[in-house]
Amino acid sequence: MPTPPTAARLTAASFTDGERIGSYIASVYALGAPLGERYSADPEGCQPLVSLARGATPHTPVAEVNRGLADAEETYGSTVAVQLRSYAAHGAAGVLGALRAAGRQCADGFTEDRGLVRARYLSVETADAPGLGDEAAAYRFTILDVQGKAKFYEYLTVVRIGACTLSFRAETTDGEDIGGVPDEIVRAQWEKFHAAG
């Protein structure tokens, strides 16, 4: 079984700080990572839809690299969290399996606990997944804000390439439905990953 990519290899395959992809600009998270271990789901089986951080599935990442992208042309535009992870043995395939199981189990919604606040996912729908990698899954979330007044939408796309996953989570701050993770970001990251070997 090949050795899974290290953090250094994932870093070489990820977006660089200040890199531009269309109207989006990439950045390195200064502190920690987005959607980390403090984000949890109730029921617990929905956890992969909230965060694929350590403990979300039985498959623990060997290495992880996180990037954020923001639409530079919109004050309240969309943002995309991009996370590259590598796994030992068949862990990456197991993660996609756990994600799909959560999508089926939690289609009618669940609660996300963010430590101090809770948000209600009203529905989980499958979305169009890109035809990239060994397999891919995509979801559209309808979420009630923490005040229980307004709906907003998030999208999650996860692509598996061998022992690695490329995860993309898109959201907006204005409540608009952007229709999915921007394809230009998914394909640009895929191409960088492929080029890095």
The 10s digit of each residue's pLDDT in 61-91 is 999 999 999 998 887 779 999 999 999 989 9
Span between the terminal Cα atoms of the chain, in Å:
17
Residue 145 pLDDT = 78
Torsion of CA 127, 130, 133, 136, to 10 degrees: 0
Q: Do residues 121 and 43 touch, judged by C-beta distance below 8 A?
A: no
Q: In the 3-class helix/strand/coil scheme, how is the chain assigned residue by residue?
A: CCCCCCHHHHHHCCCCCCCEECCEEEEECCCCCCCCCCCEEECHHHHHHHCCCCCCCCCCCCEEEEEEEEECCCCCCEEEEEEEEECCCCHHHHHHHHHHHHHHHCCCCEEEECCCCEEEEEEEEECCCCCCCCEEEEEEEEEECCCCCCEEEEEEEEEEECCEEEEEEEEECCCCCCCCCCHHHHHHHHHHHHHCC
Rounded distance between C-alpha atoms, residue 183 and residue 136, angstroms: 13
Residue found under tokens 């290899």: 9
- In the numeric block, which tokens belong to residue 79? 């943002």
Most confident of the following: 38-52, 135-149, 181-195 = 181-195
CB 174 within 8 A of CB 76: yes
The predicted structure's pLDDT at residue 31: 65
Percent of the chain with pLDDT over 70: 95
Q: Whole-angstrom Cα distance, residue 104 to residue 90?
A: 22
Domain 7-195: assigned CATH number: 3.40.1000.70
Which of 22-31, 33-42, 51-60, 125-134 has maximum average pLDDT?
Answer: 125-134
Q: Where does residue 12 rank: exposed (0-12), middle (13-18), buried (19+ CB within 10 A)?
A: middle
The reported pLDDT for the residue numbered 188 is: 97
Average pLDDT, the chain: 91
Residue type, 129: A
Q: Where are the domains of the chain?
A: 7-195
